[in-house]
């Protein structure tokens, strides 16, 4: 709809330039649309799925912010499958939405569909996760966390906790969805920091697909294969919470026998942190909706936006979680 209005505005400008007497407003701007049109922006949003508490909070933030900004949101849930996201984006292109936003389930394989959006003149905004396309003109901006930094923060806490330890520290890692930006980056950021000291040994590392059920399943297998686990690093709270069930099921005490670091800081994770079952959480904020709507409006108004907008985030110890929980939004 927004594009139709822009076309009408262009016709009006042309008519004025040709002496056709096109209307302008008092401030010289374009006239308000009349005759049944409106200037509502339509956004097609292709969400990853509903794999975690983080994702649920992110979806809510996008939906509520679209409503508050007066943006007509078309929303689809890809159930963690890239082919579903590609289908959704193609459908948004066919429907001629004004702007497409999406959180890519994995980093690779987007060039063709992004070229189709570009050919249709529909701007794309990446939210939450990155793509590895070499052609940066395929999207207008990327809004989301610095996942490498999150991995580094997790590693730094571990290094500080074990500063006086001389023996090996055996770590197991629950990775996020294979090929996704947060799994790749949280792994590499963490590895970079702990790699400086050879006592830190990652003895097992496997994907738990960012879900609680898979986190439990993989942790069960880790516990059977490795009786000597000191630390679990889970790429999100949900996998950490699933792993806690596995650890308790194996007769061990989470947070004590096995120290646990997770990423996200959703309410359930923060509660487990406050209860002493998790030891440290690196925050990853899902509340991207307001900034996304703002960026979409700017892009459609032809304003310059930064290539990258990084979300501000913090970290939580057990004491900090107790203080933050009563006012935690998600
Ligand atoms: O892309 C953000 C990640 O995706 C969150 O950390 C995780 O919980 C979610 O599934």
Residue 68's CATH number: 3.40.50.2300
- Best residue among 48, 50, 149, 262 to mutate for probing ligand 1's pocket (most ligand atoms within 8 Å of CB) is 48
Q: Find out whether the beta carbon of 151 lies less than 6 Å from any atom of ligand 1.
A: no
Query: Is residue 33's pLDDT more than 80?
Result: no
How far away, in angstroms, is 27 Cα from ligand 1 center?
Answer: 46
Is the pLDDT confidence value at 6 over 80?
no
How many folded domains does the chain comprise? Answer: 2
- Clarify whether residues 26 and 102 are in a common domain: yes
Residues 194 and 276 in one domain: yes
Task: Measure the CA–CA gap between 217 and 102, rounded to whole angstroms.
Answer: 29
Query: Is the same domain home to 230 and 292?
Result: no
Q: Does residue 318 sit within a domain? A: no
Let me know if residue 328 belongs to a domain. Answer: no
Domain containing residue 260: 147-284
Burial of residue 167 (number of CB atoms within 10 Å: 0-12, 13-18, 19+):
exposed
- Same domain? 298 vs 192: no
pLDDT of 39: 82
Q: Is residue 321 part of a domain?
A: no
The verdict on 151 and 275 lying in the same domain is yes
151 & 206 share domain: yes
Q: From the CB of 129, is ligand 1 less than 6 Å away? A: yes
Q: Is the pLDDT of residue 186 over 70?
A: yes
Q: What is the DSSP string of 271-316?
A: HHHHTTSS-EEEE-----HHHHHHHHHHHHTT----SEEEPP--EE
The DSSP letter of residue 31 is: P
Q: Is 84 inside any structural domain?
A: yes
What is the CA(53)–ligand 1 centre distance, in A? 9
Q: Check residue 15 and give its pLDDT.
A: 32
- Looking at the structure, do residues 222 and 236 belong to the same domain, yes or no? yes
Residue 103 lies in a domain: yes
On average, the pLDDT of the chain sits at: 91
Question: What is the predicted pLDDT for the residue at 3?
Answer: 52
Ligand 1 and 286: CB distance under 6 A: no
198 within domain boundaries: yes
Regarding the beta carbon of 51 and ligand 1, being less than 6 Å apart is answered: yes
Distance 54 CA to ligand 1 centre (A): 6
DSSP 195-243: TTSTTEEEEEEEE-TT-HHHHHHHHHHHHHH-TT--EEEESSHHHHHHH
Q: Which atom of ligand 1 is nearest to the CA of 286?
A: 2
Instruction: Tell whether ligand 1 has an atom less than 6 A from the beta carbon of residue 210.
Output: yes
Residue with tokens 């050879």: 198
Residue 255 and residue 300 in one domain: no
**pTM, full prediction:** 0.89
Tell me the pLDDT tens digit for each residue of 206-250.
Answer: 999 999 999 999 999 999 999 999 999 999 999 999 999 999 999
Residue 141 three-state SS: strand
């Amino acid at each position: 709809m927004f594009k139709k209005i822009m076309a009408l505005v262009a016709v009006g400008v042309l008519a004025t330039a040709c002496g056709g007497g096109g209307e302008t407003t008092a401030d010289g701007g374009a006239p308000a649309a009349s005759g049944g049109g409106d200037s509502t922006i339509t956004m097609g949003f292709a969400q990853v799925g509903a794999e975690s508490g983080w994702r649920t909070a992110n979806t809510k933030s996008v939906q509520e912010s679209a409503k508050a900004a007066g943006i007509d949101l078309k929303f689809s849930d890809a159930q963690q499958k890239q082919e579903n996201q590609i289908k959704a984006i193609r459908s948004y292109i066919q429907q001629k939405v004004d702007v497409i936003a999406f959180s890519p389930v994995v980093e690779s394989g987007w060039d063709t569909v992004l070229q189709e959006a570009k050919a249709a003149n529909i701007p794309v905004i990446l939210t939450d996760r990155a793509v590895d396309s070499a052609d940066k003109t395929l999207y207008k901006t990327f809004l989301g966390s610095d996942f490498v930094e999150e991995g580094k923060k997790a590693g730094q806490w571990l290094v500080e906790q074990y500063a006086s330890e001389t023996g090996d520290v055996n770590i197991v890692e629950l990775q996020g969805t294979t090929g996704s930006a947060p799994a790749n980056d949280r792994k590499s950021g963490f590895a970079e920091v702990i790699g400086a000291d050879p006592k830190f040994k990652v003895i097992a590392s496997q994907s738990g697909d960012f879900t609680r059920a898979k986190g439990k399943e993989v942790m069960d297998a880790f516990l059977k294969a490795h009786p000597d686990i000191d630390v679990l690093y889970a790429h999100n709270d949900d996998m950490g919470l699933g792993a806690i069930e596995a650890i308790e099921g194996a007769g061990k005490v989470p947070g004590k026998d096995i120290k646990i670091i997770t990423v996200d800081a959703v309410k359930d994770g923060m509660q487990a942190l406050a209860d002493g079952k998790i030891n440290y959480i690196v925050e990853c904020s899902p509340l991207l909706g307001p900034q996304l709507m703002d960026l979409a409006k700017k892009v459609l108004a032809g304003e310059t936006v930064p290539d990258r907008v990084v979300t501000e985030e913090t970290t939580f110890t057990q004491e900090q979680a107790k203080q933050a929980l009563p006012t935690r939004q998600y």
